[in-house]
């Protein structure tokens, strides 16, 4: 009954309230607002950013039985309407009709947690004083009932002068009243003023008193404390077992995104290569084929390969977040993160960055403190992502002879790889400290973290989120990455010599390589590496394929021929410098694109790119000079 | 204004408030008066008097339930005792010690 069953998946933009009705969904964090939104709109939703701010909101369409559509806007979770944080400002502006490109909502659904009504009802005061048709939706009715709480819904509606529904969004009960209201709201039912006069909005204690009074008048009985949450916390926040469970979760996440995703990624790679070959065979042998197969298909493919890893990571984060464990993990990690100037909520995003900085940066949305969030975004690309591995593997295999150090499992090569992981981590720590003591110095905003009761994650919420992440990622692969792939192909295939593509050394890319050689020679790199550095701007591992093309050898990191060619062209100092450069430089279009999206402009990605490039250059230079003294 | 002190006018507030009842019943025998909530042992309850923090921070904490007159009970914590979870106004909220020590008991 709640889901719409028509097949149109595209969502037209909301027009003025005259033809399509816009209903805003408001509520405090952890009120189950998004679960209800998912219930009501199903697949008919999309994520959008408000212009000029980093706050995102979801919009969805719901078809009513009366044959009309309602657009639902899922606004960020807020505790009050006073516009202080960005989330609150967005909610405030939308509800007051001051948001650009968005009409004032025709009605409001205020979603509150019925198990914590005293505190949550305080938000009803500023919402009701807006004078918009409003329905109070009391969520978690099942929880309230099970834990022995109760509330007189009829009396609450009477007291507040608005319709009230007692629902369970996760079980889908009580929704018919909400749908009924949405049909009514479109007919323009105005609320009556509440029986108990609304308090002065700006004052928290007064508002809270007003809420208590309403609660008392409606015989609200708060439920007993959640027993299971207490029992689980006795384990998860136990002084000894807590950190152990935490460690297991971290290792589990790391292992899955690193090893578990491997077969899936290989499968995607296979599909891309096979289809590329198939296309190559089907198309006539000309420049167009080269562009499509070597340029676009393999270029976009090299990024799409990471999709399984990203989805697995978000599956984990989704489960951790919806179950309530993420808050506990943030609590446990807070002390350690605090030492480097960050906070507990930065931990999971930074851990994710070991797989890929792109989902990690998207995962920083759980950090409410803006400065902490930016700092986390800025240091995330220093974490050794999986795209660096092909480069590391190639160079290490070419220059470091394998010798056992600690038994058969830990040799010189593993040590070198571990060293590079440590190097990236140290750079992140140094940068975080630098940022937090200068430009991003927080005005000591207190770390406040609500511990929600543990809940079963719903398949729908997690599924929709994965779908959305996949869509965002693939859209970027189809736009930014596609563009870069085409440009790179053109650069390495022009100008034509006798109607044929030139040797790479004589292509535009080759010329650029020669042009940058004076700049990179102090690092021990020649023009061939220079081309690799430029093409790897698309994605780090692209340099391996590029070097393969330049040397005319199969471009994989296991290629013995490529290793030999590199040994011939690079000094040990240059090789070490190359590793250091890749550890620190922001060689990744996708990351730049996602930082721009998440920070709402080019300023931060530009600063980040410049900083990381200079950082990489300086340390690669020092490495080359230092190692050249000994070899 | 650096400090937020919001009690005086609340005592003479409208009808007999639920909070006031709780105030009288649970009021500790002056043992914690003027001490921060960090002085409470786990499971021991205290009544919040004021928040000695700048206005925006105090407001945020009040919105989370740390209102003067409300009962605060320290619960579990991260290893090492910091940050610690506090049960307040039907919710469980974690605060760092550096913040909690500015929440003063009645």
Contact B78 A208 (CB under 8 A): no
Question: What b/e sequence results for A35-54 when a residue is b if at least 16 CB atoms lie within 10 Å of its CB, and e otherwise?
Answer: bbbbbbbbbbbeeeebeeeb
Flag whether residue A506 sits within 8 Å of chain B, measured between CB atoms.
no
A180: in domain: yes
Closest residue by Cα to residue A388 from A557, A591, A540 = A540
Joined together, the tokens standing for residue A40 give 């009501």
- Find the mean pLDDT for residues A6-24: 51
Closest residue of chain A to B89, computed from CA coordinates: A119
Residue A428 Cα distances to A424, A437, A494, A599, A621, angstroms:
6, 14, 39, 19, 19
Choose between A394 and A108: higher pLDDT. Answer: A108
The angle subtended at Cα A184 by Cα A179 and Cα A190, nearest 5°, is 130
Furthest-apart CA pair in chain A: how many Å?
90
Q: Is the pLDDT of residue A93 over 50?
A: yes
pLDDT at residue A11, as a whole number:
35
Choose between A460 and A617: higher pLDDT. Answer: A617
Choose between A488 and A534: higher pLDDT. Answer: A534
Q: Is the pLDDT of residue A9 over 60?
A: no
Name chain B contacts of A245, Cβ cutoff 8 Å. Answer: none
Strand order across the beta sheet in which A21-26 lies: A45-49, A56-63, A69-74, A21-26, A107-113, A134-139, A164-166
pLDDT at residue A309, as a whole number:
76
Choose between A252 and A54: higher pLDDT. Answer: A252
pLDDT band at A544 (very low <50, low <70, confident <90, very high): confident
pLDDT band at A283 (very low <50, low <70, confident <90, very high): confident
Chain-wide mean pLDDT for chain B? Answer: 78
Flag whether residue B5 sits within 8 Å of chain A, measured between CB atoms.
no
Choose between A351 and A2: higher pLDDT. Answer: A351
Which residues, other chains included, contact A17 with Cβ-Cβ below 8 Å and sequence gap of 6+? A103, A104, A105, A106
Name chain A contacts of B69, Cβ cutoff 8 Å. Answer: 205
Identify the weakest region by mean pLDDT among A78-87, A331-340, A381-390, A395-404.
A78-87
Residue pair A173/A146 in contact by the 8 Å Cβ criterion: no
Which residues, other chains included, contact A272 with Cβ-Cβ below 8 Å and sequence gap of 6+? A297, A298, A301, A304, A305
Q: Does ipTM surpass 0.85 in this model?
A: no
A483: in domain: no
Contact B6 A242 (CB under 8 A): no
Name chain B contacts of A449, Cβ cutoff 8 Å. Answer: 83, 93-95
Q: Is the pLDDT of residue A606 over 70?
A: yes
Rounded to an integer, what distance in angstroms lies between the CA atom of residue A133 and that of residue A190?
A: 5
Residues of chain A with pLDDT > 90: what percent? 30
Joined together, the tokens standing for residue A56 give 């995102």
Choose between A613 and A471: higher pLDDT. Answer: A613
Rounded to an integer, what distance in angstroms lies between the CA atom of residue B101 and that of residue A218?
A: 36
Rounded to an integer, what distance in angstroms lies between the CA atom of residue A267 and that of residue A284?
A: 27
A70: in domain: yes
Each residue of B12-64: pLDDT tens digit? 333 333 333 344 444 445 567 889 999 999 999 999 999 999 888 898 899 99
Joined together, the tokens standing for residue B51 give 């928040």
Flag whether residue A242 sits within 8 Å of chain B, measured between CB atoms.
yes
Rounded to an integer, what distance in angstroms lies between the CA atom of residue A487 and that of residue A323?
A: 44
Flag whether residue A80 sits within 8 Å of chain B, measured between CB atoms.
yes
Of B64, B79, B95, nearest to A79 by CB-CB distance is B64
Each residue of A310-323: pLDDT tens digit? 788 778 888 988 89
Flag whether residue A222 sits within 8 Å of chain B, measured between CB atoms.
yes
Name chain A contacts of B16, Cβ cutoff 8 Å. Answer: none
Q: Is the pLDDT of residue B91 over 80?
A: yes
Q: How many domains does chain A have?
A: 1
Q: Is the pLDDT of residue A209 over 70?
A: yes
pLDDT at residue A554, as a whole number:
61
Each residue of A369-422: pLDDT tens digit? 788 889 999 999 999 887 888 888 889 888 988 887 776 667 788 888 888 988
Residue pair A609/A599 in contact by the 8 Å Cβ criterion: no
pLDDT at residue A381, as a whole number:
96
Shortest distance, CA A225 to any CA of chain B (angstroms):
8
pLDDT at residue A546, as a whole number:
77
**Among B94, B99, B101, B102, which would you mutate to test the A interface (most chain A Cβ atoms within 10 Å of its Cβ)?**
B94
pLDDT at residue A202, as a whole number:
65
- Find the mean pLDDT for residues A431-442: 82
Identify the weakest region by mean pLDDT among A86-90, A135-139, A198-202.
A198-202
pLDDT at residue A555, as a whole number:
62
Flag whether residue B8 sits within 8 Å of chain A, measured between CB atoms.
no
Residue pair A188/A177 in contact by the 8 Å Cβ criterion: no
Closest residue by Cα to residue B4 from A203, A125, A86, A80 = A203
Identify the weakest region by mean pLDDT among A482-486, A565-569, A604-608, B21-25.
B21-25
pLDDT at residue A18, as a whole number:
46
Contact B63 A334 (CB under 8 A): no
pLDDT at residue A631, as a whole number:
74
Q: Is the pLDDT of residue A299 over 90?
A: no
Each residue of A563-587: pLDDT tens digit? 888 898 899 999 999 999 999 999 8
Q: In angstroms, how far is CA B94 from the centroid of its own chain?
A: 13
Contact A448 B82 (CB under 8 A): no
pLDDT at residue A152, as a whole number:
93
Residue pair A331/A565 in contact by the 8 Å Cβ criterion: no
Which residues, other chains included, contact A227 with Cβ-Cβ below 8 Å and sequence gap of 6+? A147
pLDDT at residue A479, as a whole number:
74
Each residue of A446-464: pLDDT tens digit? 788 899 999 999 888 899 8
- Find the mean pLDDT for residues A225-247: 93
Rounded to an integer, what distance in angstroms lies between the CA atom of residue B79 and that of residue A241?
A: 10
Residue pair A573/A525 in contact by the 8 Å Cβ criterion: no
Phi-psi map region of A98: left, alpha, beta (phi>0 left; psi -120 to 50 alpha): alpha
Each residue of B74-90: pLDDT tens digit? 999 999 898 999 999 98
pLDDT at residue A431, as a whole number:
94
- Find the mean pLDDT for residues A6-20: 41
**Among A86, A117, A147, A205, which would you mutate to test the B interface (most chain B Cβ atoms within 10 Å of its Cβ)?**
A205
Return the SS3 of A404.
strand
Choose between A303 and B55: higher pLDDT. Answer: B55
A36: in domain: yes
Q: How many CA atoms lie within 13 A of A163 on its CB side?
A: 21
Closest residue of chain B to A332, computed from CA coordinates: B78
pLDDT band at A619 (very low <50, low <70, confident <90, very high): very high
Q: List, as ranges, residues 436-455 from A with C-beta within 8 Å of B.
A: 445-451
Residue appearing with tokens 């960005």: A86
pLDDT band at A15 (very low <50, low <70, confident <90, very high): very low
Joined together, the tokens standing for residue A430 give 């140094």
Of A239, A338, A448, nearest to B79 by CB-CB distance is A239
Flag whether residue B26 sits within 8 Å of chain A, measured between CB atoms.
no
Choose between A445 and A88: higher pLDDT. Answer: A88
Q: Which domains does chain B have, with CATH numbers?
A: 20-105 (2.30.30.90)
Closest residue of chain A to B7, computed from CA coordinates: A205
pLDDT at residue A52, as a whole number:
54
Contact B78 A448 (CB under 8 A): no
Flag whether residue A233 sits within 8 Å of chain B, measured between CB atoms.
yes
Residue pair A114/A169 in contact by the 8 Å Cβ criterion: no
Q: Is the pLDDT of residue A304 over 50?
A: yes
A349: in domain: no
Identify the weakest region by mean pLDDT among A28-32, A553-557, B68-72.
A553-557
pLDDT at residue A169, as a whole number:
92
Name chain A contacts of B93, Cβ cutoff 8 Å. Answer: 448-451
Chain-wide mean pLDDT for chain A? Answer: 83
pLDDT at residue B10, as a whole number:
39
Joined together, the tokens standing for residue B33 give 């008066």
pLDDT at residue A49, as a whole number:
61
Name chain B contacts of A79, Cβ cutoff 8 Å. Answer: 60, 63-64
Rounded to an integer, what distance in angstroms lies between the CA atom of residue A575 and that of residue A392?
A: 10
Tell me, what CATH number does A178's domain have? 3.40.50.300
SS (H, E, C) chain B: CCCECCCHHHHCCCCCCHHHHHHHHHCCCCCCCCCEHHHCCCCCCEEEEEECCCHHHHHHHHHCCCCCCCEEEEEEECCCCCCEEEEECCEEEEECHHHHCCEEEC
The CA-based dihedral angle spanning residues A484, A490, A492, A498, taken in that order and rounded to the nearest 10 degrees: 170
Q: Which residues pair with A7 in a beta bridge?
A: none
- Find the mean pLDDT for residues A69-73: 89
A164: in domain: yes
Q: Is the pLDDT of residue A142 over 80?
A: yes
Return the SS3 of A595.
helix
Rounded to an integer, what distance in angstroms lies between the CA atom of residue A187 and that of residue A163?
A: 14
Shortest distance, CA B24 to any CA of chain A (angstroms):
17
Contact A237 B76 (CB under 8 A): yes
Identify the weakest region by mean pLDDT among A36-40, A52-56, A103-107, A490-494.
A52-56
Q: Is the pLDDT of residue A51 over 90?
A: no
Closest residue of chain A to B69, computed from CA coordinates: A205
Rounded to an integer, what distance in angstroms lies between the CA atom of residue A595 and that of residue A121?
A: 37
pLDDT at residue A400, as a whole number:
87
pLDDT band at A148 (very low <50, low <70, confident <90, very high): very high
Flag whether residue A562 sits within 8 Å of chain B, measured between CB atoms.
no
Residue appearing with tokens 């806007």: A73
Segment holding A26, helix H or strand E:
strand A21-26
Flag whether residue B64 sits within 8 Å of chain A, measured between CB atoms.
yes
**Residue A608: Cβ-neighbour burial (10 angstroms; 0-12, 13-18, 19+):** buried
Q: Is the pLDDT of residue A156 over 70?
A: yes
pLDDT at residue B11, as a whole number:
37
Residue A457 Cα distances to A61, A228, A454, B7, angstroms:
23, 15, 9, 41
Range of the domain at A31: 21-224
Rounded to an integer, what distance in angstroms lies between the CA atom of residue A129 and that of residue A194?
A: 9
Name chain B contacts of A209, Cβ cutoff 8 Å. Answer: 10, 13-14, 17, 19
Flag whether residue A29 sits within 8 Å of chain B, measured between CB atoms.
no
């Amino acid at each position: 009954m709640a889901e719409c069953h028509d097949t149109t998946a595209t969502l037209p933009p909301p027009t003025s309230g005259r033809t399509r009705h816009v209903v805003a969904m408001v509520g405090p964090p952890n009120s189950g607002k998004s679960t209800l939104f998912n219930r009501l709109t199903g697949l008919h939703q999309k994520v959008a950013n408000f212009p000029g701010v980093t706050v995102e909101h979801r919009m969805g369409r719901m078809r009513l039985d009366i044959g009309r559509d309602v657009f639902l806007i899922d606004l960020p979770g807020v505790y009050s309407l006073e516009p202080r944080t960005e989330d609150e400002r967005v909610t405030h502006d939308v509800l007051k009709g001051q948001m650009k490109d968005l009409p004032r909502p025709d009605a409001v659904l205020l979603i509150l947690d019925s198990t914590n009504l005293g505190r949550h009802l305080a938000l009803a005061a500023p919402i009701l004083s807006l004078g918009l048709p409003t329905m109070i939706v009391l969520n978690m009715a099942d929880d309230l009932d099970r834990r022995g709480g109760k509330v007189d819904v009829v009396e609450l509606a009477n007291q507040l002068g608005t319709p009230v529904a007692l629902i369970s969004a996760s079980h889908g009960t009580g929704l018919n009243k909400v749908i009924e209201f949405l049909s009514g709201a479109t007919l323009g039912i105005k609320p009556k003023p509440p029986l108990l006069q609304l308090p002065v909005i700006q004052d928290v204690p007064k508002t809270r008193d007003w809420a208590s009074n309403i609660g008392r008048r409606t015989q609200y009985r708060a439920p007993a404390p959640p027993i299971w949450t207490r029992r689980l916390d006795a384990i998860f926040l136990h002084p000894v077992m807590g950190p152990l469970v935490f460690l297991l979760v971290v290792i589990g996440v790391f292992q899955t995104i690193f090893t578990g995703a491997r077969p899936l990624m290989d499968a995607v790679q296979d599909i891309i290569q096979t289809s590329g070959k198939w296309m190559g065979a089907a198309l006539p042998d000309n420049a167009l084929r080269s562009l499509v197969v070597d340029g676009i298909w393999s270029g976009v493919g090299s990024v799409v390969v990471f999709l399984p890893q990203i989805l697995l990571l978000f599956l984990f984060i989704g489960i951790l977040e919806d179950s309530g464990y993420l808050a506990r993990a943030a609590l446990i990690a807070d002390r350690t993160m605090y030492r480097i100037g960050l906070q507990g909520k930065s931990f999971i995003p930074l851990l994710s960055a070991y797989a890929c900085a792109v989902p990690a940066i998207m995962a920083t949305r759980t950090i409410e403190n803006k400065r902490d969030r930016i700092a986390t975004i800025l240091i995330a690309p220093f974490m050794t992502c999986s795209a660096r591995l092909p480069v590391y593997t190639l160079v290490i295999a070419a220059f470091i002879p394998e010798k056992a150090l600690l038994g058969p499992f830990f040799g010189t090569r593993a040590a070198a790889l571990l060293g590079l992981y440590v190097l990236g981590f140290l750079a992140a720590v140094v940068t975080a400290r630098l940022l937090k003591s200068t430009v991003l110095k927080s005005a000591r905003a207190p770390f406040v973290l609500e511990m929600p009761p543990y809940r079963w994650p719903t398949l729908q919420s997690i599924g929709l989120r994965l779908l959305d992440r996949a869509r965002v990622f693939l859209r970027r692969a189809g736009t930014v990455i596609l563009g870069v792939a085409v440009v790179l192909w053109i650069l390495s295939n022009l100008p034509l010599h006798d109607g044929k593509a030139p040797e790479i050394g004589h292509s535009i890319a080759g010329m650029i390589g020669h042009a940058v050689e004076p700049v990179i020679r102090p690092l021990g790199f020649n023009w061939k590496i220079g081309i690799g550095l430029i093409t790897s701007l698309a994605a780090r591992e692209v340099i391996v394929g590029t070097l393969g093309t330049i040397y005319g050898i199969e471009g994989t990191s296991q290629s013995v021929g490529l290793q030999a060619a590199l040994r011939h062209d690079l000094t040990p100092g240059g090789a070490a410098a190359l590793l250091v450069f890749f550890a620190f430089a922001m060689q990744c279009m996708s990351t730049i694109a996602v930082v721009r999206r998440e920070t709402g402009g080019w300023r931060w990605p530009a600063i980040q790119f410049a900083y990381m490039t200079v950082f990489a250059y300086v340390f690669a230079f020092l490495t080359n000079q230092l190692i050249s003294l000994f070899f | 204004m650096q400090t937020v002190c919001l009690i005086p006018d609340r005592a003479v507030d409208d009808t007999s408030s639920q909070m006031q009842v709780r105030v009288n019943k649970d009021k500790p025998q002056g043992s914690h008066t003027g001490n921060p909530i960090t002085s409470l042992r786990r499971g021991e309850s205290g009544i919040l008097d004021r928040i000695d923090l700048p206005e925006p921070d105090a407001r945020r904490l009040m919105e989370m339930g740390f209102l003067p007159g409300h009962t605060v009970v320290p619960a579990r914590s991260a290893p090492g005792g910091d940050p610690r979870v506090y049960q307040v106004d039907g919710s469980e909220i974690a605060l760092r010690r550096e913040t909690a020590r500015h929440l003063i008991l009645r």
